[in-house]
């Protein structure tokens, strides 16, 4: 017990140092000289990679040692306490790596002023009275909102609270992280209950709870993906316990937060005798989306075209999309259409390949991110809840190397140009693809040996 407890303590210290590095980067983002900002970013990336090595060691220790936390009443409480300590350290962290919370705040403020975030873009000259000192930090100011209606509702509620807490726009932006924080806590609670239901060792919760990525992206940067993950985990938990009606209703809610969980409907429905009944429940569950859209109803064709950029409108840390883009002779629209078709085919084919729903969900998400033109670091949090049950090392490596994607900020600060397809992204994808190939080859060898051992020897 002392071994894993000491490891937990060491992990908390290393994690805290990493979060402090991020906080230093954030606090000096506007005041420091450019070389100082670049140096701090490099320090943060290095610290994050070191922390990931320690995290992998800790997860291995907790899930393989005879002193697993399940053998002590306070074991899981210790894991949760350390996880909450990490998260508490990031609450006041300024969002230095992403400006998304400033977009969330603007959309909440716009709604409070009577505007529709699906119809009005930040650059709209008719709504200049909504602008303030944080306007320059709002990303993609020439497009209206593209997130689901539940996100818009959460932004409005969070802005109402932020305005009550402080009149300062920067502090209000910190309050806008609250929906992401609550979503992350819900994911941890749901995973704990799901592990108990499946009879799995509760120590596997550490794969999610102690991972640095959700701490940075949800509690530090405030990305609203945590809300989608909360509904998604709840949906698959319900489906796993044969509560299909609740599961598809919750999956519809996940789509009403961010559109990508719709890709998991074929996996949730599956192929078999129950398919017609499940397909009907899935269709009913999707009715949540138009119902939630009613308060915001407007022409969203421009919004959908913008969100389609995920598959090919612009490039950020892409991998296999580069092949599609090359085959399309550099035409983004053609590459996008091909990518959408490939993703659709993959989402339908995966349930035919993987019998286990969790493995299928992992395959759908991983395949979608590999095929798409965009893979921001926080997108990799989509994998983590399912890795708790099926911890495939290549995907864990992908999660761990994701801080290297932030090296794009160096060129952005130096040149003012965002180059999301820098060669440096292969420092992530090179090792990931190599490990994927290695594990796939070893699995093939094991299957080949197994089939050989079951064949008759030929001796009489």
Q: What is the pLDDT of residue 302?
A: 75
Indicate whether 432 belongs to any domain.
yes
The structure tokens 């990305």 sit at 223
pLDDT score at 158: 96
d(CA 301, CA 206): 42
Looking at 175, 209, 226, which one is the last position of a domain?
A: 175
The Cα–Cα gap between 166 and 67 comes to 47
pLDDT for position 327: 93
Query: CA-to-CA distance for 292 and 33, rounded, in angstroms?
Result: 46
Mean pLDDT of all residues in 329-339: 90
Return all residues near 432 (Cβ < 8 A) that are at least 6 apart.
394, 397, 398, 401
Residue 338 lies in a domain: yes
339, exposed or middle or buried, with CB in 10 Å at 0-12, 13-18, 19+? buried
With residues binned 3-state (H G I as helix, E B as strand, rest as coil), the percentages for the chain, rounded to 5, are: 75, 0, 25
Integer angstrom CA distances of residue 131 from 42, 123, 167, 339: 33, 9, 14, 37
Q: Does residue 241 fall inside a structural domain?
A: no
CA distance 266 to 46: 39
Residue 409 pLDDT: 77
Provide the number of structural domains found in the chain. 2
- pLDDT value for 311: 73
Within 8 A by CB and 6+ apart from 339, the residues are: 311, 312, 321, 324, 371, 372, 373
Domain boundary among 108, 140, 175: 175
The H helix count followed by the E strand count for the chain is 23, 0
The tens digit of pLDDT for each residue in 246-286 reads 999 999 999 999 999 999 999 999 988 889 999 999 999 99
Specify whether 304 is located in the same domain as 169: no
One domain, residues 170 and 304? no
| Paired tokens of 407 | 């090296």
pLDDT for position 408: 79
Q: At what angle do helices 34-64 and 408-415 cross, to 10 degrees?
A: 170
Sequence-ordered list of residues with C-beta below 8 angstroms from that of 123, at least 6 positions apart, any chain: 141, 142
**pLDDT in the model for residue 222:** 94
Does residue 309 sit in the same domain as residue 441?
Answer: yes
Same domain, 310 and 453: yes
Quote the pLDDT of residue 196. 93
| Interval 409-430 mean pLDDT | 78
447, part of any domain = yes
Residue 228 lies in a domain: no
Average pLDDT, the chain: 85
Mean pLDDT across 435-445: 88
In this prediction, residue 294 has a pLDDT band, given cuts at 50, 70 and 90, of very high
CA 400 vs CA 30, 296, 382, 395, 439: distances in Å: 28, 38, 14, 9, 17
Asked whether 322 and 421 are in contact (CB, 8 A), the reply is yes
Query: Which token pair is 203?
Result: 């120590």
Torsion of Cα atoms, 197 then 388 then 233 then 14, to 10°? 120
Q: How far is CA 367 from CA 76, 183, 321, in A?
A: 33, 24, 11
Residues facing 316 on adjacent strands = 374
Contact 196, 70 (CB under 8 A): no
Token output for 161: 């609270």
Instruction: Check whether 5 has a pLDDT greater than 70.
Output: no
In-domain check, residue 436: yes
Is 32 inside any structural domain?
no
- Cα atoms in the Cβ-side hemisphere of radius 13 Å centred on 87: 23
Residue 27 confidence (pLDDT): 46
- The residue from 175, 205, 238 where one domain ends is 175
- pLDDT at 456 (0 to 100): 45
Average pLDDT over residues 32-41: 52
> Domain range spanning residue 341?
299-460
Give DSSP secondary structure letters for 253-318: HHHTT-SGGGGGHHHHH-SSTTHHHHHHHHHHHHTHHHHHHGGG-S--HHHHHHHTHHHHTS-BS-
pLDDT one-digit tens code per residue, 133-161: 899 889 888 889 889 999 999 999 999 99
- Calculate mean pLDDT across residues 362-378: 94
Amino acid 51: pLDDT:
79
- If one counts every other C-beta atom within 10 angstroms of the C-beta of residue 72, the result is 14
Segment among 85-94, 258-267, 356-365, 376-385 with least mean pLDDT: 85-94
Low-confidence winner among 15-19, 50-54, 92-96 (lowest mean pLDDT): 15-19
**Using 50, 70 and 90 to split pLDDT, how confident is the model at 31?**
very low
User: What percentage of the chain carries pLDDT values higher than 70?
Assistant: 84
Task: Identify whether 37 is part of a domain.
Answer: no
């Amino acid at each position: 017990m002392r071994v894993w407890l000491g490891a937990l303590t060491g992990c908390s210290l290393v994690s805290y140092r990493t979060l402090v590095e991020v906080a230093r980067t954030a606090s000096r983002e506007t005041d420091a000289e450019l070389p100082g900002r670049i140096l701090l970013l490099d320090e943060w990336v290095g610290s994050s990679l070191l922390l990931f090595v320690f995290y992998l060691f800790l997860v291995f220790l907790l899930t393989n040692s005879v002193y697993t936390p399940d053998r002590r009443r306070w074991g899981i409480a210790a894991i949760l306490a350390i996880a909450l300590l990490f998260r508490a350290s990031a609450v006041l962290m300024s969002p230095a790596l992403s400006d998304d919370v400033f977009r969330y705040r603007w959309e909440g403020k716009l709604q409070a002023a009577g505007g529709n975030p699906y119809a009005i873009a930040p650059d709209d000259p008719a709504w200049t009275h909504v602008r303030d000192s944080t306007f320059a930090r709002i990303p993609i100011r020439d497009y209206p909102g593209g997130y689901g209606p539940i996100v818009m509702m959460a932004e409005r509620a969070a802005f109402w609270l932020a305005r009550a807490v402080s009149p300062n726009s920067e502090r209000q932006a910190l309050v806008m992280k609250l929906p992401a924080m609550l979503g992350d806590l819900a994911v941890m609670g749901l995973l704990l209950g799901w592990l108990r239901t499946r009879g799995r060792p509760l120590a596997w919760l550490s794969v999610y709870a102690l991972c640095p990525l959700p701490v940075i992206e949800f509690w530090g940067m405030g990305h609203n993906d945590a809300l989608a993950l909360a509904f998604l985990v709840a949906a698959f938990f319900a489906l796993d316990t044969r509560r299909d009606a609740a599961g598809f209703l919750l999956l519809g809610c996940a789509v009403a937060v961010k559109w990508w969980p719709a890709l998991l409907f074929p996996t949730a429905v599956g192929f078999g005798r129950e398919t017609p009944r499940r397909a009907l429940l899935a269709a009913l569950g999707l009715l949540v989306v138009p119902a939630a859209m009613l308060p915001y109803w407007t022409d969203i064709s421009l919004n959908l075209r913008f969100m389609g950029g995920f598959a090919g409108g612009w490039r950020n840390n892409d991998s296999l999309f580069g092949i599609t883009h090359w085959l399309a002779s550099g035409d983004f629209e053609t590459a996008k259409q091909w990518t959408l078709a490939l993703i659709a085919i993959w989402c339908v084919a995966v349930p035919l390949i993987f019998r286990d729903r969790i493995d299928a969900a992992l395959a759908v998400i991983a395949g979608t991110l590999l095929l798409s033109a965009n893979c921001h670091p926080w997108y990799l949090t989509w994998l983590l809840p399912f890795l708790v049950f099926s911890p495939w090392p290549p995907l864990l490596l992908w999660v761990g190397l994701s801080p290297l994607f932030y090296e794009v900020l160096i060129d952005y600060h130096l040149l003012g140009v965002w180059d999301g397809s820098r060669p440096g992204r292969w420092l992530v994808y090179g090792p990931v693809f190599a490990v994927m190939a290695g594990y796939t080859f070893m699995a093939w060898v094991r299957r080949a040996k197994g089939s050989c051992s079951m064949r008759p020897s030929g001796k009489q």
